[in-house]
């Protein structure tokens, strides 16, 4: 019986939010005994570290001043969060970590080089800092707690910035570095996002990768449940910033949340799901700031409370249409395939919708269609997700909700859980809000 709790960047952003985290952990420890806490860097710190890493390779960057800003932020948290018995130790850990960071950045400046490996080494410092703050706060308030370095547990390949986990080595490492503490009813605090390769070099799992860390550790220790603590009360029926009437979904299947995460509902990293699915571990999404809210439970089995459970939006996208063969040619280009959202084709004609999150991707698509007879148009895609997303009556309801808009196309039946509605970019939010009425 062990539980993994993951706290995201906004949950560990300040002394006040970390105190909230500390309370949640202490309460769960009283109820469940041994548990693992996976923490993200304080909000904004990973971005600051990545900027620092890039700047370090350039002459003239004041590395010391930038490191001092990071140190000051974390010392302020230590002062406000950690009771006096453990404060000096917390301050010393922060100072030691930032000194290590500064030495690293200074050597990058000497070499005038910023490699993917050095980006990972620098970026991983955010999680080191937040985890030491939380473990000091827990220890100072009497919670039996130990900090375990994620680099000792999460073993990956050497694909810096996007490392792939080796589940067998990670399982073995978790058995030696984590499980004995859980058996002794301790809280293990560790860093999200980071791991190490076969040569012991620090790697990261990609942006937002702390969710993946939680699932990987959950699978490795055979957790009974993985809890993702964030700043919203679960997975919402739409991004609450775009649809004010969006509400938390009580339960979702793994298949649905994976689709939602793939198609723009950024609340969970898609890879979170894989180790949890394989080990049939329920994932609970909870709100750190309103812990009494029930949140969303994600289960391996299908759940049904209506035809559609959520809508999400991908934009900007490009719709490429024309001859079947030419569309296939564009869709199968290696550098476009990873951004391909959906395709549809008959014997003669075809369309492909490609997500173009930045100018480079838009240019890549424009280059790919140059010299063909294909047409290309900017668009947005609303994805309607649910157990009956591909049923004909669901499609009919979608059509009637959007009668007043110019719908470019509806692709249904491609995925059992999602229906893709292609609209003009200018209509995207309105279409999303209209389709949310079906949820």
Interacting residue ranges for ligand ASP, rule: CB under 6 A: 8-9, 40-41, 46, 126, 192-193, 207-210
CB nearer ligand ASP, residue 8 or residue 387: 8
CB nearer Mg ion, residue 38 or residue 105: 38
Q: Which of residues 26-55 bind ligand ADP (CB under 6 A)?
A: 40
Q: What backbone phi and psi angles, to 5 degrees, belong to 280? A: 55, 45
Contacted by 192, from ligand ASP, Mg ion, ligand ADP, none: CB < 5 to 8 Å by type:
ligand ASP
**Do 301 and 323 meet the contact criterion of CB atoms below 8 Å apart?**
no
Nearest-approach distance from CB 306 to ligand ASP, in angstroms:
31
**Do 376 and 410 meet the contact criterion of CB atoms below 8 Å apart?**
no
231 contributes a contact to ligand ADP by CB under 6 A? yes
195 contributes a contact to Mg ion by CB under 5 A? no
Let me know how many helices (H) and strands (E) the chain has, helices first: 17, 16
Query: Running DSSP on this structure, what letter comes out for residue 384?
Result: E
Nearest-approach distance from CB 170 to ligand ASP, in angstroms:
17
Query: Which listed range, 8-16, 44-52, 92-100, 368-376, lies at the site for ligand ADP (CB under 6 A)?
Result: 8-16
CB nearer ligand ADP, residue 59 or residue 244: 244
Q: Is the peptide bond before 359 cis (omega within 30 degrees of 0)?
A: no
How many positions of this chain bind Mg ion (CB under 5 A)?
A: 2
**Do 17 and 288 meet the contact criterion of CB atoms below 8 Å apart?**
yes
**Do 399 and 357 meet the contact criterion of CB atoms below 8 Å apart?**
no
CB nearer Mg ion, residue 172 or residue 231: 231
DSSP 183-226: HTTPEEEEESSEEE-TTS-EEE--TTTHHHHHHHHHHHHT-SEE
CB nearer ligand ADP, residue 231 or residue 388: 231
Strands 187-191 and 418-423: unpaired
Structure tokens at 138: 């827990």
In angstroms, the CA 68 to CA 63 distance is 9
In angstroms, the CA 120 to CA 117 distance is 5
**Do 189 and 146 meet the contact criterion of CB atoms below 8 Å apart?**
yes
Nearest-approach distance from CB 292 to ligand ADP, in angstroms:
18
Q: Of 147, 149, 155, 148, which Cα lies nearest the Cα of 200?
A: 155
Structure tokens at 53: 């890493």
Name, in order, each residue with C-beta under 8 angstroms of 414's C-beta and a sequence gap of 6 or more.
Answer: 342, 343, 344, 390, 420
Out of 236, 254, 263, 417, point to the residue binding ligand ADP (CB under 6 A).
236
Contacted by 420, from ligand ADP, ligand ASP, Mg ion, none: CB < 5 to 8 Å by type:
none
Out of 239, 256, 326, 364, point to the residue binding ligand ADP (CB under 6 A).
239
CB nearer ligand ADP, residue 9 or residue 270: 9
Out of 208, 234, 248, 275, point to the residue binding Mg ion (CB under 5 A).
208
CB nearer Mg ion, residue 104 or residue 193: 193
Nearest-approach distance from CB 9 to ligand ADP, in angstroms:
4
Q: Of 167, 195, 164, 418, which Cα lies nearest the Cα of 278?
A: 167
Q: What mask, x for binding Mg ion by CB under 5 A, covers residues 154 to 193?
A: ----------------------------------------
How many positions of this chain bind ligand ADP (CB under 6 A)?
A: 18
Contacted by 239, from Mg ion, ligand ASP, ligand ADP, none: CB < 5 to 8 Å by type:
ligand ADP
247 contributes a contact to ligand ADP by CB under 6 A? no
Q: What backbone phi and psi angles, to 5 degrees, belong to 151? A: -65, -25
Summarize as ranges the residues that interact with ligand ADP (CB under 6 A): 8-11, 40, 208, 230-232, 235-236, 238-239, 241, 265-267, 310
């Amino acid at each position: 019986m062990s539980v993994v709790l993951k706290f995201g960047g906004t949950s560990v952003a300040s002394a006040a939010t970390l105190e909230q985290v500390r309370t949640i952990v202490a309460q769960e420890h009283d109820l469940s005994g041994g548990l693992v806490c996976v923490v993200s860097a304080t909000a904004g710190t990973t971005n600051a570290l990545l900027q620092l890493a890039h700047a370090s390779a350039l002459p003239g960057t004041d590395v010391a001043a930038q490191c001092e800003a990071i140190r000051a932020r974390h010392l302020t948290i230590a002062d406000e969060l950690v009771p006096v018995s453990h404060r000096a130790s917390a301050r010393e850990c922060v100072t030691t970590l930032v000194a290590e960071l500064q030495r690293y950045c200074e050597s990058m400046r000497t070499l005038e080089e910023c490699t993917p490996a050095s980006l990972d080494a620098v970026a991983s410092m955010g999680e080191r800092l937040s985890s030491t703050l939380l473990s000091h706060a827990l220890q100072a308030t009497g919670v039996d707690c130990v900090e375990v370095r994620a680099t000792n547990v999460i073993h990956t390949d050497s694909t810096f910035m996007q490392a792939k986990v080796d589940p067998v080595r990670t399982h073995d490492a978790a058995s030696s570095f984590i499980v004995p503490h859980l058996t002794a009813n301790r809280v293990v605090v560790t860093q999200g996002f980071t791991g190490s390769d076969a040569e012991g070099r620090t790697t990261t799992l990609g942006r937002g990768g702390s969710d993946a860390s939680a699932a990987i550790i959950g699978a490795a220790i055979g957790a009974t449940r993985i809890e993702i603590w964030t700043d919203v009360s679960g997975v919402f029926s739409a991004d609450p910033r775009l649809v004010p009437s969006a509400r938390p979904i009580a339960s979702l299947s793994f298949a649905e949340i994976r689709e939602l995460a793939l198609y723009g509902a950024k609340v969970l990293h898609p890879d979170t799901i894989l180790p949890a699915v394989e080990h049939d571990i329920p994932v609970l999404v909870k709100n750190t700031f309103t812990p009494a809210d029930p949140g969303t439970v994600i289960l391996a089995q299908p759940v049904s409370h209506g035809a559609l459970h959520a809508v999400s939006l991908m934009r900007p996208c490009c719709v490429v249409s024309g001859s079947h063969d030419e569309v296939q040619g564009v869709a199968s280009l290696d550098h476009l395939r990873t951004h391909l959202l959906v395709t549809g084709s008959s014997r003669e004609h075809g369309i492909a919708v490609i997500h173009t999150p930045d100018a480079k991707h838009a240019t890549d698509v424009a280059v790919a269609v140059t010299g063909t007879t294909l047409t290309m148009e900017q668009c947005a895609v609303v994805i309607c997700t649910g157990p009956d997303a591909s049923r004909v009556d669901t499609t009919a309801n979608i059509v009637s909700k959007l009668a007043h808009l110019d719908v470019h196309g509806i692709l249904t039946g491609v995925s059992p859980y999602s229906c893709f509605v292609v609209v003009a970019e200018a209509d995207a939010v309105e279409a999303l809000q209209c389709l949310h009425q079906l949820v």
